[in-house]
Each structure stands twice: as C-alpha cells, then as structure tokens.
Amino acid sequence: MDAVHVRLRVAGELYAVSVDDVLEVTEIGELAVVPGAGAGLLGVRNLHGQVLPVFDLAHILGLQREKPPTRIVVAERERDLAGLAVDDVTDVAPLGAPTEETDGEHLQGAVLEDGVLVGVVDLDRVFTTLERAASR
C-alpha cells in the first residue's frame, strides 16, 4: 500500500512530505524577524502558544523563489518542531515509493506521477541540516 503524503509546491516545483511527519498546515501569518539568523530562517511565529521557527523550504532545497511563500507546513521530528514555508499545499493522498533517483541531498528520491516528477522530501535530512545551521 502507498504511504499518504502531503503534496507541496515549492518555488514552482512539486514535492511531497509524509503525512506522519506533518502536524498541521497553516497560513504563513506574521513572522518576527530574528536578528543575525541565517538566510534560511524567515523568522519565528507564535503557533498555539509555542514559538515556532519558520524556515524557507526553497532555500533548504537550493531553489530560487519568484514569489513569497504563503503556507507553513508544521513538521515534527522526535520532539523538534519547525515550520517549513511553502508556496502551497496541493493535495493529501497516497504516493508510491520513490522510483527515480535525485541529486538533492534533502530528497529520498522522486516519483513520476501523471507525467509530473514529485520530489519526496527526507525530513530527517532537513532537520539535520537545520540543527547543524543552528549550532554554528
């Protein structure tokens, strides 16, 4: 059986994240800028009484944005939370296992679906990158 994924549009490209790692999807809202933060950190936001760091998933994936992100995918790994800013969430549905290899260090691979390549994001690698950046 295919695992359920949240499908995202990031910098005009399609990606998917396992629904098991997503707590919610919300509007980007008002972000407080963090002085001295790296380029990938857009800011922090109060989400249900918690301070949520919001990172630009396009920056993490090495993509150039043409327009500002509109949504946040709130992802969790172990007890760590992060908001991943995306252009849009397009669907939540089953997705087959990655069958195409990719060069992206933050991807498990890709799936060709209806003639469109969907990159499958590896959130463990994304969180590892975020932790490394925070420790500098």
Q: What is the pLDDT of residues 96-131, one digit of tens each?
A: 989 989 888 999 999 998 899 999 999 999 999 888
Q: Say what the pLDDT of residue 135 is.
A: 61
Using CA atoms, how far apart are residues 128 and 61, in angstroms rounded to an integer? 13
Reply yes or no on whether the pLDDT at 25 is more than 70.
yes
- What pairs with residue 81 in β-bridges? 76
- What pairs with residue 16 in β-bridges? 7, 120
Is residue 91 classed exposed, middle or buried when 0-12, 13-18 and 19+ CB atoms within 10 A define those classes?
A: exposed
Specify whether the CB–CB gap between 114 and 102 falls below 8 A.
Answer: no
The tokens describing 132, both together, are 């490394």
What structural domains does the chain harbor? 3-134 (2.40.50.180)
Percent of the chain whose pLDDT exceeds 90: 74
